[in-house]
Structure 1
Amino acid sequence: MSIEKVLDVLREGFMTILIVAGPTLAIALVVGLIISIIQAATQLQEQTLSFVPKILAVIGALVVFGNFMLNALIAYTEKIFELIAGL
């Protein structure tokens, strides 16, 4: 296996990680930012207040984007197995 092929597999692996983790992390970031703004505006500094909405948002994101994420992982895994079989 050439260096170029290994780098291509690594690049595709990193892109798959970004595609799979991106939507969930972005939603958690947005919800956390909104909760932080609300906490700053109301001067409520309760540490646990931000966890419940973030958890619910992440669960909702997994429900909505779960099929897309799973399909991306399956496609990458199939490509890796085909590459291994071709060696």
Structure 2
Amino acid sequence: MTGAEVLDIASQGIWTLLIVSAPMMIVGLVVGVVVALFQALTQIQEQTLVFVPKIVAIFITMLLTLPFCGAVMAGYMNQVVDMIIVGG
């Protein structure tokens, strides 16, 4: 296996990581901004108020995107296994 092939596998792995984690990260960001806006408008400065809505929203997003994430990871794993079997 050449250095270029290793870099290609690593690059695909990083893109897979970004694609799989993007839905949860985006939902966490949106929920955090909404809760921060709510806190700023009502002047409620409770630090723990942000965590529960974020955790619930990310958990629901994870459940909804689980088939998509599994398919993306399975596709990447199939590419890696094919490269192992073929030898390059």
- TM-score, normalization: structure 2? 0.93
> 1:32 maps to which residue?
32
Residue 17 of structure 1 deviates from its aligned partner by: 0.3
SS class of match (2:74):
helix
Q: How much does 1:7 deviate?
A: 1.3
Counterpart in 1 of 2:6? 6
- What pairs with 1:40-79 in structure 2 (closer than 5 Å)? 40-79=40-79
Structure 2 gaps of 5+ residues are none
SS of the residue 2:44 aligns to: coil
CA RMSD of aligned residues (A): 0.9
Farther off after superposition, 15-24 or 76-85: 76-85
SS of 2:50's partner is: helix
Provide the rounded CA distance (Å) in 1 between the counterparts of 2:63 and 2:2: 39
Which consecutive residues of structure 1, in runs of 5 or more, have no partner in the other structure?
none
Q: What percent of counterpart residues are identical? A: 37
Deviations 1:33-71 (A, max 9, x none): 110111011110111111111011001111211110011
- C-alpha distance in structure 2 between counterparts of 1:16 and 1:42, whole Å: 40
Equivalent pairs counted in the alignment come to 87
Aligned to 1:20: 20
Q: List structure 1 segments (4+ residues) > 3 angstroms apart after TM superposition.
A: none
> One-letter code of the match for 1:70?
G
